[in-house]
Structure 1
Amino acid sequence: MSETISISSATLISSKTIVGSDVFSPTDEKLGTIEDILVDKVSGRTIYAVLSFGGFLGMGERHHPLPWSTLAYDVVKNVYRVNLDKKHLEDAPSYDRNKEFSWTPEYGRTVDSYYKSPNYWN
C-alpha cells in the first residue's frame, strides 16, 4: 500500500518532489533534471543530487552527481539553481545512464574535488 504524505512545512520536501525537478544556471539556462538523490544511510543527510545532462531524447545523456551543497532552491520559480554553466558540467565527473555504475569513495572524492565542495569521504 502506498502512503501519501502531505507536507505543509516551508522547509521540508519529499524526495518524490525533488526527483524530476529542473536545475538552472544563474543565467536561467536549463542544465538538466534531478534523476536521483543519494542519502547517507547513517546520518540521514542528503549528500548528492544526480543530474541528468546532455544528449537528445535520452540518447547520449549522462548522469552528473552534484554535491547537495552546490544546489540552491529557488522558491519563486520552484526549481533548483547551481552556480555552473554547461561547459563546467561537460567536463565534470559523470557516468553513462545506460551502463551499470558502482559508486566508490574514490569517485566521491573526485566529485567533491571537482566542485570544490567539502569532502564527504574523509
Structure 2
Amino acid sequence: MAHYHETSTLIGADKVEGTDVYNTAGEHLGTIHEIMIDKTSGKVAYAVMSFGGFLGMGEKYHPLPWSTLTYDVNQAGYVVNLSKQQLQDAPVFDEDEETFLSDRAYEKRVHDYYGTTPYWGL
C-alpha cells in the first residue's frame, strides 16, 4: 500500500505529528502530538502540542487552533506568535483528561484565548 506524505501544498497528518513548535523568538515550545480534524467539515481544527514531562510521563497538552500555526521551512517546524508566558497561561489539559475533546465551552475558551475564530463558525 502506498503512503503519501507530502506534496508542495499537502502533508500527511502522520508527518505533522512529532514536528517541533517554536515561538517567533525561536524558542522551542514543544512538539505536535496530534492533529484534530472536524468530522463533519473535514477542517483541521487543532494541533495538540505536547510539552513538559520526561520520557512521556507528566506531559501537558495545549490545543492550538490550527490558524495560529505557520510552517517555517528554515526551522523545519511550526511557529506560533506566543511567548512562553502566554503559553503557560493558555488552556491546557493532561493526557487522561477528555474535557477538551467533548466540551464546546472549553473549545470556545481556547479560541477566545488565542483570539481566533472557531473552526465551527459562530
Question: Structure 2-normalised TM-score?
Answer: 0.88
Deviation at 1:54, TM superposition (A): 2.5
Match of 1:89 among 87, 90, 101: 87
How far, CA to CA, are the matches of 2:105 and 2:74 in structure 1? 37
Residues 73 and 12 of structure 1, relative CA distance in 2, 3 Å threshold? same
Deviation at 1:100, TM superposition (A): 3.5
Question: What secondary structure sits across from 2:71 in the alignment?
Answer: strand
Structure 1's consecutive aligned runs of 4 or more residues displaced over 4 angstroms after TM superposition are: none
How far, CA to CA, are the matches of 2:6 and 2:91 in structure 1? 36
Question: Structure 1-normalised TM-score?
Answer: 0.88
Structure 1 gap ranges (5+): none
The residue number in structure 1 matching 2:97 is 100
Q: Percent of counterpart pairs with the same letter?
A: 48
Question: What secondary structure sits across from 2:21 in the alignment?
Answer: strand
- Check the 8 A contact 1:25/1:84 in 2, yes or no: yes
Match of 1:33 among 31, 55, 59: 31
The residue number in structure 1 matching 2:15 is 17
Q: CA RMSD in A?
A: 1.6
Higher helix share: 2
Structure 2 gap ranges (5+): none
The residue number in structure 2 matching 1:112 is 111
Question: What secondary structure sits across from 2:34 in the alignment?
Answer: strand
What do residues 6-25 of structure 1 show as CA deviations (whole Å, max 9, x unaligned)? Answer: 35521100001100000001
What amino acid sits opposite 2:73 in the alignment?
V
